[in-house]
Amino acid sequence: MTGNAVTVPITITVVVPTFNRKHCLPRALDSIFAQTEPVDEVVVVDDGSDDGTEARVREHYPEVVYLAQSNRGVSAARNTGIAAANHPWIGFLDSDDAWLPDKIARQKNALREDPAVRVCHGEEIWIRNGRRVNAPRQYAKSGGWIFPKCLPLCVISPSSVMIHRQVFDAAGVFDESLPACEDYDLWLRVCSRFPVLFVSHPVLEKYGGHPDQLSRQWGLDRFRIRALEKIINSASLSPQNDSLARQTLRGKCRIFAAGAEKRGRSQVAADFLARAAQY
């Protein structure tokens, strides 16, 4: 570590997208303001809530930048926050998650040790239905050039990441046309272009099990398939990564087709088998 690396300023805006989660948003915001090393700006993007979210934020968190928009989905909300951010580093916190107190301190220290890195994420603790559980092995986190590990499933949680604006300039922002797996899509684009730094200590409590989670629905692989088609057709991948992406795409299409067939959706199954054959 050089002396110059220690003095590089790392200023951060935190973007908190929310929709009708007045009941848990305070837990998320409190976890931001409880950081041992403070952030520089907090932007709450309210994606069309009608449950009194605005009144609660304005009354109890006057220091927060509150932005309201019509309901357009989490990707649009995050993109609104990215556009409004006044600092080069951007963090995200979903309104149903919570940071651990030393999250920002640990990630800033890691970035000061490796100042060329532009993406940093950390380990997480899973809470399901109020109880701590072990995260499934396929969601294991890591660092470096992790594009191959991003292909099966999303292995970076938006709530754990710190990402420099230069990354969005190069890879683009969240795809607002995807109703789910928008994070999977983004990390494919990001991790094919940038190495990531991984903090092995937990930085996040990731809550799940509630009924409004899109990840609970069947058939999410159809959105991952769209993301894979996008990045393959962009012709931006190295030959090795392109080969791996095509292999993953074919496998996901076949698995999705088998699931559709079991549900009596023969035409859907045929369509996805045809898409597999294209790659």
Report the chain's mean pLDDT, rounded to a whole number: 93
Q: What is residue 5's predicted lDDT score, i.e. its pLDDT?
A: 43
In this model, does residue 211 exceed pLDDT 80?
Answer: no
Residue 136 burial by CB count (10 A; 0-12/13-18/19+): exposed, middle or buried?
A: exposed
At residue 88 the predicted structure's pLDDT band, cuts being 50, 70 and 90, is: very high
Tokens read off for 89:
């580093």
At residue 217 the predicted structure's pLDDT band, cuts being 50, 70 and 90, is: low
In this model, does residue 132 exceed pLDDT 50?
Answer: yes
In this model, does residue 68 exceed pLDDT 70?
Answer: yes
Mean pLDDT, residues 253-258 taken together: 96
Q: What is residue 218's predicted lDDT score, i.e. its pLDDT?
A: 57
**Bridge-partner residues for 199, per DSSP?**
122
21, 114, 137 from 166: Cα distances, Å: 31, 16, 31
Q: What is residue 4's predicted lDDT score, i.e. its pLDDT?
A: 46
Reply yes or no on domain 3-216 having CATH 3.40.50.300. Answer: no
At residue 79 the predicted structure's pLDDT band, cuts being 50, 70 and 90, is: very high
Residue spans per domain, the chain: 3-216, 221-278
Angle, to 10 degrees, between the axis of helix 266-278 and the axis of helix 221-233? 30
pTM: 0.92
Q: What is residue 1's predicted lDDT score, i.e. its pLDDT?
A: 44
d(CA 178, CA 66): 25
Residues 6 or more apart whose Cβ sits within 8 Å of residue 131:
none
DSSP-assigned states of every residue in 84-132: H--SSEEEE--TT-EE-TTHHHHHHHHHHHSTT--EEEEEEEEEETTEE
What does the DSSP 8-state code read for residue 144?
B
Q: What is residue 213's predicted lDDT score, i.e. its pLDDT?
A: 54
| 24 CA to centre of own chain | 19
When mean pLDDT is compared across 3-12, 15-24, 105-114, 259-268, the lowest value belongs to 3-12
Mean pLDDT, residues 222-237 taken together: 97
pLDDT tens, 26-60?
A: 999 999 999 999 999 999 999 999 999 999 999 99
In this model, does residue 152 exceed pLDDT 50?
Answer: yes
d(CA 142, CA 149): 9
In this model, does residue 7 exceed pLDDT 80?
Answer: no
Q: What is residue 50's predicted lDDT score, i.e. its pLDDT?
A: 96
In this model, does residue 6 exceed pLDDT 70?
Answer: no
65, 153, 159, 178 from 125: Cα distances, Å: 28, 18, 12, 26
When mean pLDDT is compared across 13-27, 132-146, 246-260, the lowest value belongs to 132-146
